[in-house]
Amino acid sequence: MDCLPNPQREAVTAEPAHGLKFTQALDQMHEELGAVLARLTSDMAEILIHEVETAPRIFGCAAGRSGFILRGFLMRLMHLGFTVYFVGETTTPRVRPDDLLMVMSGSGETAQPREMQRRANTVGARTLALTTHPESTIGREAQVTISIPGTTKLTLNQEAKSVQCPGSLFEQATFLFLEAVVLILYQRRLGTSRGDVLDRHADLE
């Protein structure tokens, strides 16, 4: 069977027979994200920037899709010249006093980040939580808590309304929040050029 594209064939656009169309899905996501991003403030970004810039080393801990997002943020910080580690990697060293541990959990109750935050607090490290629920265990026990509106796996009444899978809106909003922080840091860090960032980009890949 010929599965290769044939330029002589007439292009066919597949449309679903029923249900949500692709453009409608994008419109709904755009509307939801716009409402959440409008609630984020410059003060929230400056709080995170201050913690990042004053920490000797930055650690991250999160599970699932939140883990992917936080890893991406730490990677960008590494590109900008910060010393970063992700909890659970075999090359991650012991946390020390004044280091920063960032945890990301929409519910604020994810087991591993919750426990790692407690350990970091015990040794005197700074702890910063990204969560939808500042009243959660992680939110209460962090020294700094940044509340990102969204929906989580808890799907509580006070959360932002969303047609997306539970957790997606929180993850999307946090990703864009962190990307904005990266852009601010990139613009502010004197002596950090595009070439410097590229020099720190992985080449063993």
**Residue 83 · residue 57 · CB < 8 Å:** yes
User: What span, in angstroms and rounded, lies between the C-alpha atoms of 65 and 150?
Assistant: 14
Sign of the C-alpha dihedral computed for residues 148, 185, 115 and 138 taken in this order = negative
Residues marked active site are found at: 171
Could you tell me if 110 and 63 are in contact, meaning their C-beta atoms sit under 8 angstroms apart? yes
**Cα separation, 184 vs 23, whole angstroms:** 31
Contacts of 39 (CB under 8 A, 6+ apart): 149
Q: Which residues pair with 84 in a beta bridge?
A: 58
**Cα(113)–Cα(119) distance, rounded to whole angstroms?**
10
DSSP H helical ranges for the chain? 22-37, 42-54, 64-79, 111-123, 137-141, 168-188, 194-199
d(CA 70, CA 66): 6
